Structure 1
């Protein structure tokens, strides 16, 4: 197998197998948007990206979109009554498909996104020896402020294994870096902070007419002159009960504003019941999932965006609101504290404090000049700090470290190799299990008995596997041999 060596800093031949449980049009939370835009940006930089994900109605199992290859595993035959069991079953399908891809194609890295694909990522890393990079978008212990049952502890265990066995770990904020160190004992030297980003061009469309938008949202939806927007999952950690309570206060004070809540999640019915109980049906509208066009129209037609989370590693929806040129109000927690500078790029309030939140919303509704100033400052900041081009470049540097990490070795001099019986014995032992693309004992013996070949042996550790690197003439190509349960698997070396 001929391999073209890639010099350090050159990414043109790098291929990444990207694992994500959600990918457009499946959009549950921020991971889908993140993986989509990161993959597109990596492709623009010459990286080969193949996304392995779960299927979604009316999508193809194999397709190429924006230069990104996509493979989807079928979920229709898997029961969804138990989410954890469903994830386990979907990971089994992912492992099967992933191994097919690894047999048929050359990949340099596996990049996993969160625990939902953790089992597949770990198994593909173990069976192939290909370096694993994991992006931790959020954690179970963070979402729940603790671990209280076996369900949560199982998720935490998967997260722990991902962090432990990944060559490199990516998180989205300094807050998350500290969180991983404290709650997982993670080695900070292998954690990189790569903030989320936003494609500003997505939000450059003209503002829709508010009355027309109200009609599109459904019968009975009448928008006030001022619209406050929330976009995100409907889960406890998003602080939506606080937002509803704050809006009740504003309504009691005769503040004319409409709250639109966009998203799906397990507490949707509870939120709907709370709105009804407080008599706010004409003021607060929970509209569920919306498509891309409607989402952009909502951003562009709203006056204020609010994210009232009690736990938030980053908050990509805040960047989308800033790109739409609307002022933001966020809780002073987690990654939100790093994105928003109070009084400069947005307003912050104390988490779980409806009085503080109501006061911040009222201030922006009443002080138009402040709202415009915050909007302008935030928009300028986006281009400097939160573009996908910047995020992709930082991710590439992580990929480089992940690949070079396994090459931190002490090379055995050529003239010493054939006289070192322990190394020769190790070669035979490791090559004893043969498989597809593996070196047989006979092939290893041929190499060992050919002293004319400039051969170097390097010993080290990759997750639970060792590895070998050989420089073999006459091809003069750099080749890495990963040690896996299948034998010594041949692969091109990268970034070396």
Structure 2
């Protein structure tokens, strides 16, 4: 079976959870099938992985609206997937390629839902009129796909609510996964290296710390976290691994809030560059609790990564987060009542901020309990979120689609 994965992100250019997902998924699928990857950001000739093709934006579209530039890349992908048994696209950036390829070559199109355009209206700040185009692309692809993979049950519900013309029978839940060998707490000689890494980043490993990892975008809820940090004990550090802002506006909002917080308390650390995995693991291992204050989160691979390193997670009770965090066992869920207009804005922002601070303090005041939750978190990802199991479930879905169309595994 030949599977062509279509994605915006692929190493070394990964900006978020979808890129991590495709990188890991492609690895486990190669154990079962001929896998080709088509991605953005130019050629990958020096990557050392067979079957990876990177595309650049056509020169004629280099100054166009980002959505049109995306479509230019997608058309190149669609042209080059002839001969595949399945095309599998990830995010709206590649959905257009999958949709066109399916019509052009008669190939079943599977898509993975990592987020939904109707639930991210703030993207209009980034794309302007292109947001209407990206929304049309996503809607067309979802309504025409042979199958849709939702990364959580919460995401499945969002899909059926956002796109009522989609047949519920073709929406399947397959959770995101975690590389258990690549994400674990430092041991042996690595402990000293990890200590040196975090101190060089301005982190004191002897102090309790709350850590956030994610892009600077409306959905991640950073402004609420920065407000909640005002209510944390004076000895607690806030470590913010955050970059790649969606827009200048959200970048300025977060920067101003951070600067104000840093004037009023010490131990506030902002790491803007994307850290190599071993450095990020060192930062996580030096922290007490991981925080995910998102107002929209289909699942949250960052939560799995933190749990794999042995951290409890305090996360908003929204989207797929309750399917990851076992409330009271591997961390705590923060209640959030949200506006139902697609923005996810808390109905009472002050209450959400207060509840977030109170829940973080609940973990911070009991370090022994926090450590126990961290151990339980590691066990939970081992039991439920291994990539090997996710690869097998994905292959079973591919086989089902081909069987339904009269194909075979050996085609």
TM-score (norm 1): 0.72
- CA 1:310 to 1:342, structure 2 compared with 1: closer, same or farther past 3 Å? same
Gaps of 5+ in 2: 337-348
Is residue 68–residue 130 contact of structure 2 (8 Å, CA) maintained in 1?
A: no
Whole-Å separation in 1 of the counterparts to 2:224 and 2:393: 36
Q: Distance in 2 between matches of 1:73 and 1:147?
A: 25
Cα displacement string for residues 325-368 of structure 1 (whole angstroms, at most 9, x for unaligned residues): 11111011110011112101211112451211111221212112
2:34 equivalent among 48, 62, 66:
48
- In structure 2, relative to structure 1, the CA distance for the partners of 1:75 and 1:291 (3 Å cut) is farther
Match of 2:268 in 1: 284
1:338 corresponds to 2:323: yes
Which residue, out of 73, 79, 90, partners 2:62? Answer: 79
Conserved 8 A contact 1:22-1:32 = yes
Q: How many residues are paired up?
A: 384
CA RMSD, Structure 1 to Structure 2 (Å): 2.5
* 1:15-94 paired onto structure 2 within 5 Å: 15-44=2-31, 46-55=32-41, 60-61=44-45, 64-65=48-49, 69-75=51-57, 77=59, 79=62, 82-94=65-77
1:472 corresponding residue in structure 2:
none
Change (3 A) 1:281 1:235: farther
**Alignment CA distance shift 1:79-1:109 (3 Å):** same
- 8 Å contact kept, 1:230–1:260: yes
Alignment of 1:463-478 (within 5 A): none
Q: Which has the larger radius of gyration?
A: 1
Alignment of 1:39-438 (within 5 A): 39-44=26-31, 46-55=32-41, 60-61=44-45, 64-65=48-49, 69-75=51-57, 77=59, 79=62, 82-96=65-79, 98=80, 101-102=81-82, 106-144=83-121, 150-185=129-164, 186-204=166-184, 205-206=186-187, 207=191, 212-217=196-201, 225-250=207-232, 253-266=233-246, 267-278=250-261, 279-280=263-264, 282-288=266-272, 289-351=274-336, 352=349, 353-407=352-406
For residues 86 and 76 of structure 2, the distance between their equivalents in structure 1, rounded to whole angstroms, comes to 20
2:297 and 2:319 in contact (8 A); partners too: yes
Deviation at residue 373 of structure 1 after TM alignment: 2.0
Partner SS state of residue 30, structure 2: helix
Distance 1:381 1:16, change over 3 A: same
CA distance in 1, matches of 2:227, 2:192: 28
CA deviation map 1:20-79 (0-9, x unaligned): 0101111111111101111111112x21110000135xx6347543xx521111248452
In the superposition, relative to structure 1, how do residues 281 and 254 fare at CA in structure 2: closer, same or farther (>3 Å)?
closer
User: Contact 2:306–2:313 (CA<8 Å) still a contact in 1?
Assistant: yes
**Cα shift readout 1:370-391 (whole Å, capped 9, x = no counterpart):** 2122112221121221000111
SS at match of 1:201: coil
Matched position secondary structure for 2:13: coil
Query: C-alpha displacement at 1:80, in angstroms?
Result: 5.8
- Is the 1:208–1:301 Cα contact (8 Å) retained in structure 2? no
User: Secondary structure of the residue that 1:261 maps to in structure 2?
Assistant: strand
SS at match of 1:55: coil
Cα distance, 1:406–1:380 mapped onto 2, change above 3 Å: same
Offset from partner CA, 1:167-191 (integer Å, 9 cap, x none): 1110111111111111101211111
Task: Say whether the 8 Å CA contact 1:198–1:319 is kept in structure 2.
Answer: yes
Query: For residues 248 and 81 of structure 1, what CA distance do their matches in structure 2 show?
Result: 42
SS of equivalent to 1:202? coil
Distance in 2, matches of 1:82 and 1:281, equals: 41
**Are the aligned partners of 1:344 and 1:377 in contact in 2 as well (CA < 8 Å)?**
yes
Instruction: Compute the displacement of 1:259 (Å).
Output: 2.4
Answer whether contact 2:212 2:290 (CA < 8 A) is retained.
Answer: yes
Cα distance in 2, alignment partners of residues 190 and 177 from structure 1? 10
Report the 3-state secondary structure (helix = DSSP H, G, I; strand = E; otherwise coil) of the residue aligned with 2:215.
coil
TM-superposed deviation, 1:81: 6.5
Q: For the residues of structure 1 that align with 2:145 and 2:221, how far apart are their CA atoms?
A: 32
Segments of structure 1 that go 5 or more residues without pairing to the other structure are 1-13, 408-479, 481-492
